[in-house]
Amino acid sequence: MFDSALRRDLVTRESILEICDGLHADCGPVLRLLHYANPLNENGGESLCYATVIEEGFAVPELQHVFLDPDAPWVKHRADFVWHTQDGRIIVLEYDGTGKYVDPAMTGRRGIQDVVHEERKREDTLRNAGVTRIIRTNYDEVRQRHPLRHKLLDANVPMAVMYPVYERETDILGNER
């Protein structure tokens, strides 16, 4: 809801903080949501996927990154989620709703074969622009978490790292390692 409200300019981060300041309640969960809220998520499915990626411990991805085809710079494609790794890899995660393939309003009345063919051309452009791995996921995989987590682990998506000033690695008893 935060992503959508921010995207539509229905609320600002500051106004949410003001409301929290006026409450006599724990706003910790609200502040965590506010910290990660991002109006670049274009729909509820992307917001859910984004939140799941973060909750599963992966590094926060860049959203809606634009890639240009080096052979045809006028050809641009946006990727839903992108990680630029320290070793130079570029990993893309695409969230696919089923409507993308069957809803006439989203397919431009093209058949599934045409839509799939366009997706393949799009993936070729992303690879040509330097993307080293493309992962596709959908609502069911995000809700189940396990399939998405395995795909991200298999692709070596970076995990979030501890901030050493504030965090310490501990064992199961809470003792620092």
Give the DSSP per-residue string, 41-106. --SHHHHHHHHHHHHTTBPPPEEEEEEEETTEEEEEEEEEEEEE-TTS-EEEEEE--THHHH-HHH
Share above pLDDT 90 across residues of the chain, in percent, rounded to a whole number: 52
Residue 169 lies in a domain: no
Same domain, 10 and 52: no
Q: What is the mean pLDDT of the chain?
A: 85
Q: Is the pLDDT of residue 86 over 70?
A: yes
Q: Which domain holds residue 21?
A: 1-39
Q: With 70 as the cut, is the pLDDT of residue 14 above it?
A: yes
Domain count within the chain: 2
In a domain, 32, yes or no: yes
Residue 139 phi/psi, 5° resolution? -55, -45
pLDDT > 60? residue 104? no
Residues 26 and 109 in one domain: no
DSSP string, 118-172: HHHHHHHHHHHTT--EEEEE-HHHHHH-HHHHHHHHHTTPPBP---TTT---B-T
Residue 103 has pLDDT above 80, yes or no: no
